[in-house]
Structure 1
């Protein structure tokens, strides 16, 4: 028989989506391990309490660099194992897409750990390229330049090539090739060129439309032939180094991966038949993260492991190359989400509980003079049980329609008691799932959905969420989460579940004055860079945590946005703010509503507040 701790762990599904990094200790606290095999761990509650003592306010991002390093090692070793198993004659290189998480600390850790594997970088814009050219990476690692390009983008890329970067310009439009050739001739260098193919194959999941013949990016067959013709005419066909494709992020179904790989490998072989010594086959990104732990083709999951993905890529390309008698290329993967997702965990606190219909319920007494409908409802309330909860709930619904205003309080009491018994059943019907959501608590969280979990709002991406403490006691509430913004979309009401999507999250009772902390997991990919400043809530405080056998070391603390920072984004400079507030205060002195001393004190307090954190507390 399971104890409460085991049942709580099962409730939140941490064994399913935690990937060996996350677990719960005997205290009922969340712990983090640096790798699946490591016995070392850190108690997250201890870290949070340590940060609070240092004056670091919540919400805060806990960044675990060792998880980044582990994913880099695991990814490269998976492909190395596949190469060995299938006797693949080519090589494998990986590049980290900067769009996934462009923070310098993240890139430096990935490139530091990946140096021995020649781990490189992928960029898709001028700012990303500009930053990448300054990063320290292995000499044989790549800088893959994707995205639409103009004169200045291409000039910057060629500067990187001259500075010693092993840089490949991937053509998205034929027009880009003319600019590349002209500028390369002016600079007296021979560029490395790639072409992005628009495959017929599509991915799966939320980004399925990234592939297929209506995709935003990629050259058609006729356009690729035009590129080959232009390169031959300019005696630069030897500059064509890479064939690239990408069928979308977070591919949920491994069958779609196999189909696309097979199609792209055929295209590669046809290019080789044209006596073009193309060296790289870039299979793009798309390796999925199992956010809900179901290991299915559901949008928030993936029905394959990292090793399965590597096996299918290597095996399929080898199979096609053997059939076509073509040399096996160096395979490039653009792996970002699978590398970065796990390493960042957002910790916030419950600020308050918003009043719901159940909070209005007070003790009701009846007497013989009351209307019959009220007496019947009171009888339903007192006698509802595990055997009668369905019947009595339906009876209550009927009475509600009959005379709503008279017995509103009793109706919700019956609902609450019926729901309590329904949730104890092995099979919960749809009507009681709906009732559970209606009766659920609303916990006000000290964060912004639009800043911290933009994909939750924009595309209904699911993220694992759970308390970091009290896990040795059973949660008693079903709740949805609302944020601090003045926006009705600032809510989380869909949560990961092994078999389905939960519309409420099991949480403990909240008592003001008793801190209650929640963790949002797998936020290291896309969320930080895509988070916005809605309501001028800014970036979060963050702490870089190193896990060791003694516990942990807080290596670095980075302060999040203050009021002045976010107002500057909206073009409110400090002089404007201080001078205008002072003007308003002096007007009050003029009208006799403030003394001169009070006005000075008010202005000093206003200036002091500009350094405050944008969140509560």
Structure 2
């Protein structure tokens, strides 16, 4: 097997890449403009161009908006094919949930492609609705207004309806109905009304609790009937046009989705038979991204495809409508993760390697006058082999415990302890190598690979750029973007710049299990770049400013018909000054305070006035420095 073939297998690109990613003959990560497209961009060349020509500093977030467009087309084609196969006559319309990624560039990329199919937007807050009202939606598309509401929220929806948008105010709680009826009573053009009902069915994976009887959102059956009763009483039942349900994000098991769709379709049919002219059935989101490529119901995967999802939605709704003798509704989906996850990757550079002792200290000299535990560890190191490594490993553990006991009792000094530590690490390195070649490795040696792995200090913040990796221990594909034609002979975990022990990534995707180390190349002090992929959904919206590491530099990349890449847009990340402003440190106040402290130092003769001027100049200049290492 060549190094390139090994890299494809090691990093699983063909499994989680969905046809968008690959490795070229130069050993570089590549991106395709659409699935299995001949238009290909070399990620290493993009980074070299940005760093060399544009002087952009890492870390850099690369966006490929064409991948959003490709996913929108794929969704459209999946439902068209499903409708054709099962004879479904009503349309399918997608709405993009802005909470998934509110960045204007992302929303506009969705709308640019989605307007061809009448696709719209979903919002869940006043701020999202405020932004959506200014965006150029297709006239026939929906603006679905979810989330808890106050009067200002409903007034914004009324503004949208007045300007011609097809706004739908979806009731989350019963008391929102009275507020809507009162505020919209005199409106010439009213928003449509929707109702979110609470499904008995639950999802699967991390967000399973989003569905079921104890879910945070939605009306109970009794409350839904009360909404219908009150609307009929106010002679406004004709305004209720949409029923909505949602069982959570990243639903990994298609059986759970099918159960939810069956329940939703049955509720729709029963409401229609009550004389309510429902036109839209919004089955929510939840379509999962296969982050690890295993195609299973594991929380980082999905045991179904987009086409299977579309087929099940169309078939189930069509069957129940036929069974209940009610019209087929326009089906609305709100799957944002599947549309945006693939389009963004974070490129980080390795700043340093934090090695274990064995790599930093030469072979340890031991004489017979050293403590017995040290001598024993030396003898184990020198005589351990593939036949005795299991027994000698246990002996080494015993001698290490003895070493630390003697140190804590004051019988050996720091130099002796250091010798013993080095010897123990050298023994572990041999044990791990022998265990790796064994046909039947014992479970007790599984942790050695992680224990002996280096820590690659990387120029990024887990909390800012991949918060789900920390908060939810979520998996994202990670791989080098170059040197993939060389053997990856080292193992490492990735640590970030923050002063927090949680700022580490030590779980990595694999087809069969979750790896605790990442295969990497030896760090030779030359630029070494890693990509964290499939981070286009939720990560930016949920990232925090831990240790005041801000947003990263961004580049929007377009791939033309000849396969050449073009930098469509550059967006600067936070500087020290801008991130401090977010936490209410005014620039002038900072300068005044620093100047006061400097002048105190002059007064106390710690520095000269000339040095004071140099300090002030440096302080002002660094105000515009990138928050990450340069």
TM-score by length of 2: 0.95
Query: What are the ranges of 5 or more consecutive residues in structure 2 without an aligned counterpart?
Result: 405-416
User: Could you tell me whether the CA contact under 8 Å between 2:41 and 2:564 is conserved in 1?
Assistant: yes
Q: Which residue in 2 is equivalent to 1:397? A: 397
Distance in 2, Cα, partners of 1:66 & 1:391: 57
Q: Partner of 2:169: helix, strand, or coil?
A: strand
Relative to structure 2, which stretch is displaced further, 451-460 or 546-555?
546-555
Q: Deviations over 1:530-555 (max 9, x none)?
A: 10111110001000111122421111
Q: Partner of 2:579: helix, strand, or coil?
A: helix
- Which structure 2 residues correspond to residues 230-241 of structure 1 after superposition, within 5 A? 230-241=230-241
Relative to structure 2, which stretch is displaced further, 474-483 or 366-375?
366-375
Distance in 2, Cα, partners of 1:590 & 1:398: 61
Q: Deviations over 1:310-366 (max 9, x none)?
A: 111111111111111111111000011000000000001011112434345431345
Is 1:93 paired with 2:102?
no
Q: Which residue in 2 is equivalent to 1:191? A: 191
What's the CA shift for 1:409? Answer: 2.7
Q: How many residues align?
A: 615
User: Could you tell me whether the CA contact under 8 Å between 1:362 and 1:409 is conserved in 2?
Assistant: no
- Which structure 2 residues correspond to residues 246-261 of structure 1 after superposition, within 5 A? 246-261=246-261
Relative to structure 2, which stretch is displaced further, 10-19 or 333-342?
10-19
Shift in alpha-carbon separation, 1:574–1:285, aligned structure 2, 3 A: same
Shift in alpha-carbon separation, 1:374–1:591, aligned structure 2, 3 A: closer
Query: What are the ranges of 5 or more consecutive residues in structure 1 without an aligned counterpart?
Result: none
Q: Which residue in 1 is equivalent to 2:59? A: 59
What's the CA shift for 1:234? Answer: 1.0
Q: Which residue in 2 is equivalent to 1:329? A: 329
Is 1:519 paired with 2:556?
no
Shift in alpha-carbon separation, 1:181–1:427, aligned structure 2, 3 A: farther
Relative to structure 2, which stretch is displaced further, 319-328 or 203-212?
319-328
User: Could you tell me whether the CA contact under 8 Å between 2:342 and 2:534 is conserved in 1?
Assistant: yes
Shift in alpha-carbon separation, 1:107–1:396, aligned structure 2, 3 A: same
Distance in 2, Cα, partners of 1:387 & 1:112: 65
Q: Which residue in 1 is equivalent to 2:602? A: 589
What's the CA shift for 1:412? Answer: 1.8
User: Could you tell me whether the CA contact under 8 Å between 1:361 and 1:409 is conserved in 2?
Assistant: yes
What's the CA shift for 1:593? Answer: 2.9
Relative to structure 2, which stretch is displaced further, 361-370 or 238-247?
361-370
Q: Which residue in 2 is equivalent to 1:502? A: 515
Shift in alpha-carbon separation, 1:576–1:185, aligned structure 2, 3 A: same
Is 1:470 paired with 2:469?
no
In the alignment, which of 535, 545, 548 is matched to residue 557 of structure 2?
A: 545
Q: Which residue in 1 is equivalent to 2:244? A: 244
Is 1:606 paired with 2:605?
no
Q: Which residue in 2 is equivalent to 1:315? A: 315
- Which structure 2 residues correspond to residues 202-217 of structure 1 after superposition, within 5 A? 202-217=202-217
Distance in 1, Cα, partners of 2:440 & 2:247: 39
Shift in alpha-carbon separation, 1:526–1:427, aligned structure 2, 3 A: farther
Q: Which residue in 1 is equivalent to 2:434? A: 421
Q: Which residue in 1 is equivalent to 2:457? A: 444
Distance in 1, Cα, partners of 2:612 & 2:377: 61
Relative to structure 2, which stretch is displaced further, 272-281 or 580-589?
580-589
Q: Partner of 2:62: helix, strand, or coil?
A: strand
Q: Partner of 1:486: helix, strand, or coil?
A: coil
Distance in 2, Cα, partners of 1:384 & 1:19: 46
Q: Which residue in 2 is equivalent to 1:277? A: 277
User: Could you tell me whether the CA contact under 8 Å between 1:358 and 1:439 is conserved in 2?
Assistant: no
Q: Deviations over 1:411-451 (max 9, x none)?
A: 22111011022223455432212111111111111000000
Q: Deviations over 1:496-519 (max 9, x none)?
A: 11111111111111123x111110
Q: Partner of 2:113: helix, strand, or coil?
A: helix
User: Could you tell me whether the CA contact under 8 Å between 1:97 and 1:121 is conserved in 2?
Assistant: yes
C-alpha RMSD over aligned residues: 1.6
Is 1:80 paired with 2:80?
yes
What's the CA shift for 1:185? Answer: 1.1
Q: Partner of 1:480: helix, strand, or coil?
A: strand
Q: Deviations over 1:154-207 (max 9, x none)?
A: 001010010111110000011111111111113233330000010100000000
TM-score by length of 1: 0.97
Q: Which residue in 1 is equivalent to 2:141? A: 141
Q: Which residue in 1 is equivalent to 2:446? A: 433
Shift in alpha-carbon separation, 1:269–1:350, aligned structure 2, 3 A: same
